[in-house]
Structure 1
Amino acid sequence: MNQDFKQCLENKKIITFPRGKELVRKELSIAQSDLSDAKAGFDNQRYKWSTIQAYYAMFHAARALIYSRGYREKSHYCLAVALRALFVDENLLEAQIVRDFLNAMNLREAADYEAKFSESGAKAVTASAERFIHEAAHVLNTED
């Protein structure tokens, strides 16, 4: 077992969540909605909002993935750890997906807490979110 994942489990930052499988489709739907909001924000030059919404689109797609495995996150970082352990290490997702998620998380934090955001950052995170959701949906459809 991936050591970081094991640590997240021991620290209860990742917990078992049997009900998660019932919520997978709902989380993917929320991800799509957040992505639409991110694109609309970008089109209206609301780059802070676009960055934040694109990150949350990825967050909800990531949640859908780990819910499908019966887990729930209690930490955004451990959500990334779970993605790596449950999907990248199993060759179901490329490692770049997790790197993109972590980058989006950093950009979202900078936008939210430091008022640092840009058009290029919003554009990159929105594109990453679109890819992430597409890949998550593909993995989840092959697991049905």
Structure 2
Amino acid sequence: METAAKALIEGYMQKAEKKLKVAKKLLKSHDYEDCVSRAYYAVYHAAQALLLTEGEKAETHKGVVTLFGLLFVKTGKFNKNIGRYIANLKDDRESGDYEIFCYVDSKSAETAVSEAREFLKAAREYLQKNYPNVLK
């Protein structure tokens, strides 16, 4: 793998970790809509990192979901639940960010953080196993 790709993967994973950290803070401060949004972006950035390992980069959010499903879920590299997390979080983020009368409760926000945490854990484990020199 090229040095530039390694740097991008590491950068995406660092950004993913940062977004997850912010999501946890927003959960504690009861800002549930923004919590879900940050949890989604944690997963989005981790998924972009994973796509780079396959030589892919999605240009849209829908593209990230679709490519992740095709390259990682359908091939059995990740289980279906992990694949569902990114799609569900994308939908929840869009509702929270764009719908005027959207209500996100604490349980939904807690679920979003939990799913993001699990997705990032699976992404890290995959990268460490298959690309041990990528993450510091």
Length-normalised TM-score, structure 2: 0.88
Q: Secondary structure at the match of 1:45?
A: coil
Task: State the distance in 2 between where 1:48 and 1:138 align.
Answer: 29
Partner of 2:117: 130
Task: State the distance in 2 between where 1:49 and 1:43 align.
Answer: 12
RMSD: 1.5
Cα deviation code 1:38-94 (max 9, x no counterpart): 000000111111111000000001011001211111121121111112111222100
Structure 1 position 141 matched with structure 2 position 119: no
**8 Å Cα contact 1:20/1:72 also seen in 2:** no
Aligned-pair identity (%): 27
Length-normalised TM-score, structure 1: 0.83
Shift of residue 20 of structure 1? Answer: 3.9
Shift of residue 106 of structure 1? Answer: 0.7
**8 Å Cα contact 1:20/1:71 also seen in 2:** no
**8 Å Cα contact 1:21/1:70 also seen in 2:** no
Structure 1 portions without partners, runs of 5+:
1-18
1:1-144 correspondence to structure 2 within 5 Å? 19-115=4-100, 116=102, 117-144=104-131
Task: State the distance in 1 between where 2:78 and 2:6 align.
Answer: 19
Task: State the distance in 1 between where 2:62 and 2:68 align.
Answer: 10
Cα deviation code 1:83-127 (max 9, x no counterpart): 112111222100111111111011100100014222111111110
Task: State the distance in 1 between where 2:65 and 2:6 align.
Answer: 19
Task: State the distance in 2 between where 1:58 and 1:135 align.
Answer: 11
Structure 2 portions without partners, runs of 5+:
132-136
